[in-house]
Structures are given as C-alpha cells and as structure tokens.
C-alpha cells in the first residue's frame, strides 16, 4: 500500500470487506446444515469473526476518509 494513492488503498480494503462478508455468509449457511451442535457453533463463531473483521475494516476506511477530508487544503 506504500506509494499507492489513497483511493486505491480504500478500494483494496473495500474488496477485502466484501470478501470477509462473503466468508461470514458462507459460514452461516454451512452452520444451518450442521447436525452436530459443536460444528454448528464453530461455524457460527467463524461467521461472527469474519463479520467483525469486515466491520473493523469498514471503520478503517471511514477513518481514512475523515483524515483525508481534515487534511485537505
């Protein structure tokens, strides 16, 4: 990311956010098919972890955008 324009960095992070959300959804769908309660719980926890990661990265983008606005001439 060093040397990349700010908007390109945000674009790359947005792509990752989309991927993280997709992983979360896949884990949720698989959890619905699990008969073993332990496996179901593990997949639900994985889904939550992916969702939290997506949320953290979204906050990172928002902070970057705020910083860009504040530092703009």
What is residue 48's predicted lDDT score, i.e. its pLDDT? 98
43 contacts: CB under 8 Å, gap ≥ 6: 27, 28, 30, 31, 34
What is residue 61's predicted lDDT score, i.e. its pLDDT? 79
pTM equals 0.75
Per-residue pLDDT in tens (0 to 9) along the chain, 73 residues: 555 555 566 777 788 999 999 999 999 999 999 999 999 999 999 999 999 999 998 888 777 766 665 555 5
């Amino acid at each position: 990311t060093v040397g990349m324009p700010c908007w390109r960095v945000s674009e790359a992070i947005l792509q990752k956010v989309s991927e993280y959300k997709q992983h979360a959804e896949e884990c949720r769908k698989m959890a619905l098919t699990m008969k073993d309660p332990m496996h179901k719980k593990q997949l639900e926890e994985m889904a939550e972890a992916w969702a939290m990661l997506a949320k953290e990265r979204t906050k990172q983008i928002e902070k970057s955008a705020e910083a860009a606005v504040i530092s703009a001439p």
